[in-house]
């Protein structure tokens, strides 16, 4: 899995790539370069904690008893907060690497 960025050599603009973006610069409309940064362990931890949080939210909405009492709320919110923290760390790490890589692209 990759964290993808779009780099425009004309504008010198580096932006995260959206799933619907096809490669032209948003600012000037010229052809951009896609920079792929491999995801680190922080990205995978983000997805894992997101999955745990989503499962507990779904259980809470459906009214399914987990047998954990109030601990279920701490797990649910803790997993969501941990996912946000790991997302922040992964985004910063990938952005730094993309900036380094963009300096090498002409």
Q: What are the pLDDT tens digits along the chain (106 aa)?
A: 899 999 988 888 888 888 887 778 888 888 888 899 999 999 999 999 999 999 999 999 998 888 898 999 999 999 999 999 999 999 999 999 999 998 876 5
Cα dihedral sign for 16, 21, 22, 27? Answer: negative
Count how many Cα atoms sit within 13 Å of the Cα of residue 83 in the half-sphere of its side chain: 14
Cα dihedral sign for 49, 54, 57, 58? Answer: negative
- pLDDT confidence of residue 105: 60
Q: Where are the domains of the chain?
A: 2-104
Please state the pTM of the whole predicted model. Answer: 0.82
- pLDDT confidence of residue 57: 95
Which of these, 14, 12, 5, lies nearest to 34 by C-alpha position?
5
């Amino acid at each position: 899995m990759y964290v993808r960025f779009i780099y425009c050599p004309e504008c010198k603009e580096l932006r995260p790539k959206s799933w619907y973006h096809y490669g032209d610069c948003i600012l000037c409309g010229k052809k951009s370069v896609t920079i792929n940064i491999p995801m680190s362990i922080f990205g995978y931890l983000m997805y894992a904690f997101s999955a745990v949080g989503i499962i507990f939210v779904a259980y809470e909405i459906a009214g399914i008893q987990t047998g954990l009492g109030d601990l279920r709320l701490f797990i649910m919110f803790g997993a969501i907060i941990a996912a946000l923290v790991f997302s922040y760390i992964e985004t910063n790490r990938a952005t730094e690497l993309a900036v380094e890589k963009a300096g090498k692209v002409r």
